[in-house]
A and B are shown apart, each in its own frame.
Chain A
Amino acid sequence: MTTVTQGTPGAAVTAAPGPRPRRRRPVLAYVAKRLVITIGLLLGVTVLTFGLVQVVPGDPVTANLSDQALNDPAAVAAFQAKWGLDQPVYVQYLHYLGNLLHGDLGTSQQTGRAVAEDLLQYVPATMELAIPTMLLALLLGTGIGMLAAVRNGRLTDQLIRVGALLGLSTPPFWLSLVVLYLFFYRFGLAPSGGRLSPGFTPPDTVTGMYTVDAMLAGQWELAWDAAQHLLLPILVLTCLTVAILVRFVRSSMLEVLGQDYIKAAYAKGLPTGLVLRRHLLRAGLVPVITVSGLAFASLLSGTVLVENIFGWPGLGQYAYRSASALDLPAILGASLFVALVYTLVNLTVDLLYGLIDPRIRIS
């Protein structure tokens, strides 16, 4: 018999050769647990979305067939049979779940294509907007927010706060139209919309992001055209996201600035830049990460109004169009994707806490 005694330090341990003690990997266990919860969450999303579509006033048949076709029972029956709408709701749901387990998200009534195929096309378009927007917004939001905190109460701070408030209260569609009017119509600095100018053909798909794919293929003229089309939607989205971040960064930094260790650092005569970089930035960023994560998830979920005005065929436009036509498979596909994005972003944010602030540990 093998006895392993774990006692106080210094206590004798009697151990014969045996199985090695299991190494604990709390982070991996935590991630695994969260992923299991995610599966349950996604299942819940399917139930909720399925249920909501059933109770929303409106019928997919009337939303999809012409007025005259609705007068033809054969046309109505054909549509219902094709999309399984002639089955009881629970049968429709179980059928959907069965297909989902095989990786089949169904077929969109709007596009006639597999929902997965649609998502593979429209999600990268949204990512092409979301990633640069988030990077720019983080850079600007953190810098401006810190500046406001350091200049607390002065004119700079007041101006930044007013600017952030304006950014938060500006409707995205209005800002989009203003930006279009100024930068496209008045000054001709950027194209009006779409992903490419009409004369260009999209690059071969690698990532689905035209700018990236064109660069990978060495098609520099195409890449430049695609980048120009990103300009205005990114400008609008960055303005809106920066406005959110600035307020959070400012209040978070102000809190840290009042801490004793910051005062001590200043009292020791450390240069301001060093105090800001070493002590203020790291500690002040923790709450900002949460907001940044949510903002990024929101951008990845699609920005309907901005995408619509700039003719950007992303997830937001796809989801809106699907919802308008009560296209259940597409609505479910988009909802599942959004739920997945939020879950994964939240998980990433939680893990980042520990990396940025060693005081925080996952227990």
Chain B
Amino acid sequence: MPANTRRLRAAALALVALTAASATAACTAGSGASGGTGTTDTLTINTSFVLKTLDPGRVYEATGVTTTHALYDTLLTFEGSDVGKLVPRLAESYEASADAKTFTFKLRQGVKFSDGTPLTADDVVFSLNRLKNVKASPAVMVSDLTAAKSDDRTVVVTSAKPNPNVPVVLAMSATGVVNAKVAKANGATDAADAASADTAQQFLDKTSAGSGPYVLKSYDPNSQVVLEANPNYWGTKPQFNRVVLRNMDVQTQKLTMSRASGAEVSLDISGKLLDGLPDTVQTSGIQDTVYYLILNADPAVSPLTSNAKFRQALRSAIDYQGVAQLFGKGAGPGAGLVAPAFPGTLPAGEESKRDVVQAKALLAESGVTDPTVKFSYPTITYRGVDLGTVATKVQGDAAEAGIKLELNPQPLTTFLDQMRSGKMPMGFTPQSLNYPVADSLINNMAPGAGSALRAGWTVERAAPSVITAGDKVVATLDPAARAEAMKDWQREMNAHSPYIVIANNSGMNVATANLTGVEYTPAGWQIDIAAIGSKTEAR
């Protein structure tokens, strides 16, 4: 009998057996329930995948950033949830020039890639130049930077303009260092035409080429990613030999964590979903996301939302405490555009407060006769909160002050497209920082910047005091002084900008109680997989 026929017959028999097995599995399936595992040294991380690639030159989505942080080393990093203090990783030290344009990194000795070859300055330069030239989503972080090798252990990064945030940028997962030789052999290039010439993504989605604590075992962007401990890792070996990141709906995550007893973590249970979790789990979170309204400042788009008095009336009408309660545990009323997790956030006591009488007075001052505006938002649930619920609350609050908001729920892509077209009178969206430095907001939200222009907020339409406050931040090179200047900038933004921050919400990690090192970090990678250990036994 030909082999193919035999195989076909075997497959047909197996299919019949599959049906029988499926029908009878209920009788004896208990042994495999609650995520039973075949090995004992596996850490399971449940998350609703936002994943397109594990190529550090292209990685931007949350799940990809979390994973690549464990696969690739960066020059610097953050530990735990503290994003105020950089710590060395590949660079044992660095120096910044007084004008914040030149940064010199001294590389650690003895670092090897997972294939055993030494990591050199050439690999660092290649990786940074490739990131810049591939021109994918994370490239904007390094678009003003140039990397060069000084000697085998020294890399000099220069910025076209003063930028004290360069060391922070070089801690982000996208700046992870790839093995240049391996990457080049598989289609990578750092040349100026890398956007079209680099074809390494497919390779790097299947095989990691880094020096991080883990290596990539398997990758399926819709199902699961499996990591294994890097046998050649130069640093402290991670406790778990195997890590499985599973794509899981958030409701299923909650049920799973309610029964979990092994080494298991969930990354998406937050807000109201935290209610009812058993004592057998631990939680860690910090407020790192702001939710804000956008009111278009262009009179051609909306004479109403471009009216400064109207904007202030709406600002006074919102019940910030009530909105925060909708978000549940870990949320707080809005204050400024910088979330509490980051240096430069407005201090406690400066949260926005509701004053309906003042709102009505401001509305009268605005001279608006028909205070009706279309209020668009994406029909998504973000961090356990349905944005429609929040929008409805805002609508109710505004109505009490005489402002009529017509809800306009939209699919996410439609909402993004409209928002970015600059033609949306009023919108609502969450925002997290691309890298954990508050003043990065100025590049995007200050008058005349990219996002501001999409809200019709040109330099000409902005109050001079906002521009001055922004310029002061940019001109201040000392990080602590910059953070202080950011507070003033936010106060000016609250007074004059087309943005109304309504709430802050927390990212949250939920883990079984026996795990250590599961702190939520607002650094971008949410959890440091390699830092996770077990209290019960060394694995």
CB of A198 within 8 Å of the partner chain: yes
**Does B237 sit within 8 A of A, measured CB to CB?**
no
Q: Is B417 an interface residue (CB 8 A)?
A: yes
Q: Using an 8 Å CB-CB cutoff, how does the interface string of B101-145 with A read, 1 for contact, 0 for none?
A: 000000000000000000000000000000000111111100100
Q: In the assembled complex, which residues on chain A have CB atoms less than 8 Å from the CB atom of B416?
A: 58, 62-63
When chains A and B are docked, how far (Å) is the Cα of A57 from the Cα of B414? 5
B1: interface (CB < 8 Å)? no
A residues in contact with B97, CB < 8 Å:
none
Pick the residue among A65, A67, A222, A228 that contacts B29 (CB under 8 A). A228
Provide the residues of chain B in CB contact with A287, threshold 8 Å: none
Q: Are B417 and A132 in contact (CB under 8 A)?
A: no
B34 engages A216 (CB within 8 Å): no
Residues of B within 8 A of A27 (CB): none
- Complex formed: what's the CA distance from A234 to B137 in Å? 39
Q: Which of A15-23, A199-207, A239-247 contacts B (4 or more CB under 8 A)?
A: A199-207
Residues of A within 8 A of B (CB): 56-59, 62-63, 65-72, 74-75, 78-79, 81-82, 109-113, 121-122, 128, 131-132, 135-136, 177, 180-181, 183-185, 188-195, 197-202, 206-207, 209, 211-212, 215-216, 221-225, 227-228, 230-231, 234-235, 308-311, 313, 317-318, 321, 324-326
**Do A231 and B258 touch across chains, with their CB atoms under 8 A apart?**
no
The contact sample of 10 A-B pairs, CB cut-off 8 A, is: A66-B137, A67-B450, A75-B135, A78-B135, A111-B52, A111-B205, A181-B255, A192-B255, A206-B11, A313-B223
A238 CB to nearest B CB, Å = 9
For A71, what are the chain B residues with a Cβ–Cβ distance below 8 Å? Answer: 140, 444, 449-451
From A113, which residue of chain B is reached at the shortest CB distance? B202
Q: Does B38 contact A (CB under 8 A)?
A: yes
Within 8 Å by CB of B255, from A70, A180, A225, lies A180
How many angstroms between the C-alpha atoms of A211 and B221 in the bound complex?
21
Known: A69-B136, A132-B22, A188-B33. A212 touches B38 (CB 8 A): no
Q: Report yes or no: A68 in contact with B140, Cβ–Cβ below 8 A.
A: yes
Contacts of A308 in B (CB 8 A): 249
Q: By the criterion CB–CB under 8 Å, are B42 and A198 in contact?
A: yes
Determine the distance from Cα of A131 to Cα of B21 in the docked complex, in whole angstroms: 13
1/0 contact string of B346-369 vs chain A (CB within 8 Å) = 000000000000000000000000
- In angstroms, Cα B377 to Cα A93, docked, is 32
B252-A122 in contact (CB<8A): no
Q: Which residues of B contact A318 (CB under 8 A)?
A: 222
Question: Given that A110-B52, A311-B246 are known contacts, is A62 also in contact with B259, CB under 8 Å in the complex?
Answer: no
Question: Which single member of B18, B25, B222 contacts A122 (CB below 8 Å)?
Answer: B222
Residues of A within 8 A of B444 (CB): 67-68, 71
Name the residue of chain A whose CB is nearest to the CB of B25.
A231
Q: Counting CB contacts under 8 A, is B17 at the interface?
A: yes
B residues lining the A interface (CB < 8 Å): 7, 10-11, 14-15, 17-19, 21-23, 25-26, 29-30, 32-40, 42, 44, 52-53, 55, 60, 134-140, 143, 195-196, 201-202, 205, 218, 220-224, 226, 242, 244, 246-249, 251-252, 255-256, 258-259, 411-414, 416-418, 420, 434, 443-444, 449-451
Q: How far is the CA of A81 from the CA of B195 in the complex (A)?
A: 9
Nearest residue in A to B419 (C-beta to C-beta)? A62
Cα A216 to Cα B17 in complex, Å, equals 11
A223 partner residues in chain B, CB cutoff 8 A: 21
B392–chain A nearest beta-carbon distance, Å: 22
Chain B contacts of A81 at CB under 8 A? 195-196
Quick one: closest A residue to B206, CB to CB?
A: A113
Min CB–CB distance A302 → chain B (angstroms): 11
A290 vs B224: C-alpha distance when bound (angstroms): 37
Q: Tell whether, in the assembled complex, residue B14 and residue A211 are in contact, meaning their CB atoms are under 8 Å apart.
A: yes
A-B contacts besides A135-B19, A212-B14, 7 pairs, CB < 8 Å: A192-B248, A198-B244, A199-B42, A221-B38, A228-B25, A231-B29, A309-B252
B450 touches A200 (CB 8 A): no
B interface majority secondary structure: helix
Question: CB distance B413 to A63 under 8 Å?
Answer: yes
Q: Is there contact, CB below 8 Å, between A131 and B44?
A: no
Specify the chain B residue showing the minimal Cβ separation from A312.
B223
Given contacts A185-B259, A231-B26, whether A216 and B221 have CB atoms under 8 Å apart is: no
Smallest beta-carbon distance A88→chain B, Å: 19
Inter-chain CA distance A49–B326, complex, in Å, is 40
How long is the Cα–Cα vector from A109 to B21 in the complex, in angstroms? 37
CA distance A82 to B193 in the complex (A): 12
Whether B52 pairs with A311 at a CB distance below 8 angstroms is no
A-B pairs with lowest CB-CB distance, top 3: A71-B450, A199-B37, A199-B38
Residues of A within 8 Å of B32, CB to CB, are 190-191, 197, 224-225, 228
With A132-B22, A184-B255, A192-B255 as known contacts, state yes or no: A311 contacts B249, CB within 8 Å: yes
Q: Are B413 and A311 in contact (CB under 8 A)?
A: no
From residue A182, how far is it (CB to closest CB) to chain B in Å? Answer: 11
CA distance A70 to B139 in the complex (A): 11
Contact yes or no, A230 B25, CB < 8 A:
yes
Q: A224 — which chain B residues lie within 8 A by C-beta?
A: 21, 25, 32
**Which of these, A132, A309, A313, contacts B18 with CB under 8 Å?**
A132
Contact A189 B33 (CB under 8 A): yes
The interface residues of chain B lying within 8 Å CB-to-CB of A324 are 411-413
By the criterion CB–CB under 8 Å, are B21 and A211 in contact? yes
Expressed in whole angstroms, the Cα–Cα distance for A177 and B32 within the complex equals 19
CB pair B25 A194 closer than 8 Å: no
Are the CB atoms of B34 and A191 closer together than 8 Å?
yes
* Contact (Cβ within 8 A) A206 B7: yes
Residues on A with C-beta less than 8 A from B33 are 184, 188-191, 228
Contact of B22 with A230 in the complex, beta carbons under 8 Å: yes
**Which residues of B sit under 8 angstroms from A62, Cβ to Cβ?**
413, 416-417, 420
B206 CB to closest chain A CB (Å) equals 9
- Does the CB pair A67–B417 fall under 8 Å? no
Closest to B138 in A: A66
B38 contact set on A, CB distance < 8 A: 197, 199-200, 221-222, 225
The answer to whether B18 touches A198 (Cβ under 8 A) is no
Question: Do residues A131 and B252 form an inter-chain contact, with CB atoms below 8 A?
Answer: no
Task: Please determine whether B14 and A215 come into contact, CB atoms closer than 8 angstroms.
Answer: yes
Shortest Cβ distance from A318 into chain B, in angstroms? 6
Known: A71-B450, A198-B37. A311 touches B135 (CB 8 A): no
Nearest CB in chain B to that of A222: its residue: B38
In the complex, A181 Cα to B223 Cα: how many Å? 21
**Shortest distance from the beta carbon of A111 to any chain B beta carbon, whole Å:** 5
Which residues from B are CB-within-8-Å of A199? Answer: 36-40, 42, 242
Taking a contact as CB atoms closer than 8 A, the residue among B15, B143, B222, B244 that contacts A317 in the complex is B222
Distance of A70 Cα from B143 Cα, bound (Å): 13
Pair A231/B22 contact, Cβ less than 8 Å: yes
CB contacts (< 8 Å) of B218 on chain A: these are: 201-202
